[in-house]
Structure 1
Amino acid sequence: MYTGLLHLHSYMTYLVLLGVLISFGAALAGLFGNRPFTDKDRKLGLLGLIPTHLQWVFGVILYFVSPRGLSNFSGEAMGDSVSRLYILEHPLTMIIAVVLITIGYSRAKRQIGTGKGFKSIAILYGIALALILSRIPWMAWPGN
């Protein structure tokens, strides 16, 4: 079960990155195009929100079943940069990114008909994307 969940979590990252990039790009295009935020644009925001939330659920489960997760939590493990990444930095940063994406989408969906929905998604999804990219464990990336 652990290995399958680990692979699912690893490969799901591609969908998360693609969805957030599409949502972020569409928001930037709408923002700089000075057009109103429509229901179609709201649905494009879901491309970033849904895979991110699914990935978070898989990650929480993985955190509790992985030998690198909660069971490895100790003062000694905090001294090792790789262990600290898996125990603290990656989970905490990803939770912050999920919260930012959720807030961005929630604020944007109330702004249909104005241009403010694009701004909300562009800023908050952009910050979340930077956080996600900063704490992906690249050394364990599929294919490495």
Structure 2
Amino acid sequence: MYEAIQIVHSYWAYLVVLVVTLATFNALIGFFTKREYAPKDFRISLFALIVTHIQLLIGIVIFFVSPTIMWFKDVPVKDIMGDPLVRLYNVEHPTVMILTIVFITVGYSKHKKKLTSTPKFKMLAIFYTIAWILMLSRIPWANWF
């Protein structure tokens, strides 16, 4: 079961990176070109929100069933924090990805409250860019290629 969930998590991650990248650049381009906010922009930012939340749910399941997660195996914290690869999977990746989703969620929520195009794109651009940078910083790239 773990292997199947891990495969779904890994392949869904490609979709997440693609959609969040698209949403981030769409927001930045919209903000800097001062174009009108359209239904397509709303759908792109919403789709980024949805795919990241689905990935979070899959990631939570993996966190509790993965053999590489040491928190539930009587392993001292100094051993987890002392090994960079173990620390990445047990601390850094989950924490930063949760922060990524928080930034996407906050940006999406804040942009809906704005009434005109420029502030909408500004909210999306700020929060989605921060989320995008955070996400790219803690992907375990060695396992992706």
Whole-Å Cα distance in 2 between the matches of residues 118 and 41 of structure 1?
Answer: 9
Find the counterpart in structure 2 of residue 115 from structure 1. Answer: 118
**Amino acid in the other structure paired with 1:123:** I
Aligned ranges for residues 32-51 of structure 1 at < 5 Å? 32-51=32-51
Flag structure 2 segments of 5+ consecutive residues without an equivalent.
none
Q: What stretches of structure 1 of length at least 5 have no aligned partner? A: none
> How far, CA to CA, are the matches of 1:134 and 1:116 in structure 2?
27
Where 1:71 maps in the other structure, the secondary structure is coil
Q: Report deviation, 1:112.
A: 4.2
Q: TM-score, normalised by structure 2?
A: 0.91
- The one-letter code of the counterpart of 1:5 is I
CA offsets 1:61-106 (integer angstroms, 9 cap, x no match): 1000001123355321221110011110100000100000000111
Which whole-Å CA distance do the structure 1 matches of 2:82 and 2:96 have between them? 19
Contact 1:111 1:117 survives alignment (8 Å): yes
- In the alignment, residue 77 of structure 1 is paired with which amino acid? I
State the number of aligned residues: 142
Equivalent residue in structure 1 for 2:101, among 98, 114, 117: 98
SS in structure 1 at match of 2:60:
helix
* Residue 139 (structure 1) shift: 1.6
| 1:74 corresponds to | 76
Match of 1:89 among 81, 87, 92: 92
Which residue identity is paired with 2:141? W
Q: How does 1:129-140 map to 2 (within 5 A)?
A: 129-140=132-143
Kindly report the root-mean-square deviation, in angstroms, between the aligned alpha carbons of the 2 structures.
1.4
Provide the rounded CA distance (Å) in 1 between the counterparts of 2:58 and 2:76.
23
Structure 1 stretch displaced more, 9-18 or 70-79: 70-79
Determine if contact 1:38/1:112 at 8 Å carries over to the other structure. no
Shift of 1:47: 2.3
Deviations 1:32-61 (A, max 9, x none): 121333333222211211111100110011
- 1:1-80 matches, cutoff 5 A: 1-69=1-69, 70-72=71-73, 74-75=76-77, 76-80=79-83
Amino acid of the residue matched to residue 15 of structure 1? L
Contact 1:37/1:112, CA 8 A, preserved across alignment:
no
Residue 19 of structure 1: CA displacement?
0.8
